[in-house]
């Protein structure tokens, strides 16, 4: 399993970068992955519930181990914003690991930076003293922290929306679902029949996609998903965007073009001689079509 997970290029490159900047430069990728997996098994609620469930399935220790490894691999490879979940768990692991490497700043001493470059007498090209790899890693960590803060904001806003427009049980369902609980576990926690939980899930999904993401807090959700129209082309790659654009009608291209230019729904409706509800409905179709193409 460690070899299979170590074959992920994005994870392997991040680990090698971190190892090269740490004091212990002889650590192997497999050793780091093993430490991350052990930490996940001890602290991840979803994996702990999976282990408890597997223990009840069979008395065979060999079969339990096989089921656990399979569940662990599937969980680690779940795509989160186009990257495996294990990559983000590795970043969290880094935050708790001891800071080390060339860029460590002494905690009790003052230092003064004289220059970011060193000019040699026999060479016209200056040698950079700036640790580009460490800076890149720091930038990635900052971006991830910003995404996590944005995710927490979206969750709070959506919970408040559900409590106001549906009921408190919908907000509780969302909170438990995001913590990794199964529908059966949520039903036990809330003390309601499982059928009611499934109906509640459908209602929450409808409000999330049809209302909250389009009418309630569209910019907040789009920025969190990196799917804003102005900055991210609805989260589509250049080839996907080209395909998406070619499939649009002339009216849809006008709507997309003006929204991308920053115009409001009201202004677009006035210019195209349409009702605001018609433009909103058209935009809803376009957004869902783009997200379907993105996840295809």
Strands 83-84 and 79-80: antiparallel
Tell me phi and psi for residue 97, to 5 degrees. Answer: -75, 160
Cα–Cα distance for residue pair 17/88, rounded to 1 Å: 15
CA distances 54 to 48, 59, 187, Å, are 10, 9, 20
Per residue in 218-255, pLDDT (tens digit) is 666 555 555 567 667 777 788 888 888 888 888 888 88
Are 174 and 155 in contact, with CB atoms under 8 Å apart?
yes
Q: How is the chain split into domains, by residue range?
A: 2-96, 138-224, 229-295
Summarised one tens digit per residue, pLDDT across range 71-95 is 888 888 888 877 888 887 887 777 6
Q: Model confidence over 22-65: pLDDT tens digits?
A: 555 556 778 888 888 888 888 888 888 888 998 888 888 889 88
């Amino acid at each position: 399993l460690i070899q299979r997970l170590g074959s992920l290029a994005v994870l392997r490159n991040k680990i090698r970068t971190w190892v090269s900047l740490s004091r212990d430069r002889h650590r192997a990728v497999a050793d780091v992955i093993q430490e991350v997996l052990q930490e996940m098994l001890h602290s991840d609620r979803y994996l702990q519930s999976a282990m408890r469930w597997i223990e009840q399935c069979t008395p065979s220790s060999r079969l339990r181990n096989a089921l656990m490894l399979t569940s662990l691999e599937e969980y680690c490879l779940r795509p989160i914003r186009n990257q495996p979940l294990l990559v983000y768990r590795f970043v969290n692991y880094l935050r708790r690991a001891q800071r080390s490497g060339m860029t460590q700043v002494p905690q009790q001493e003052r230092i003064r930076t004289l220059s970011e470059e060193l000019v040699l007498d026999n060479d016209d090209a200056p040698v950079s003293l700036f640790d580009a790899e460490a800076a890149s890693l720091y930038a990635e960590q900052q971006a991830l922290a910003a995404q996590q803060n944005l995710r927490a904001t979206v969750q709070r806003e959506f919970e408040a929306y559900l409590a106001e427009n549906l009921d408190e049980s919908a907000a509780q369902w969302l909170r438990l679902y995001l913590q990794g609980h199964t529908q059966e576990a949520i039903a036990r926690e809330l003390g309601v029949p499982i059928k009611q939980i499934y109906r509640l899930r459908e209602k929450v999904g409808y409000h999330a996609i049809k209302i909250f993401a389009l009418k309630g807090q569209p910019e907040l959700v789009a920025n969190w998903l990196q799917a804003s129209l102005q900055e991210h082309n609805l989260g589509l790659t250049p080839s996907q965007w080209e395909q998406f654009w070619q499939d649009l009608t002339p009216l849809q291209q006008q709507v997309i073009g003006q929204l991308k230019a920053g115009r409001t729904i009201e202004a677009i409706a006035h210019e195209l001689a349409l009702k605001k509800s018609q433009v909103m409905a058209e935009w809803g179709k376009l957004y869902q079509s783009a997200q379907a193409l993105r996840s295809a």
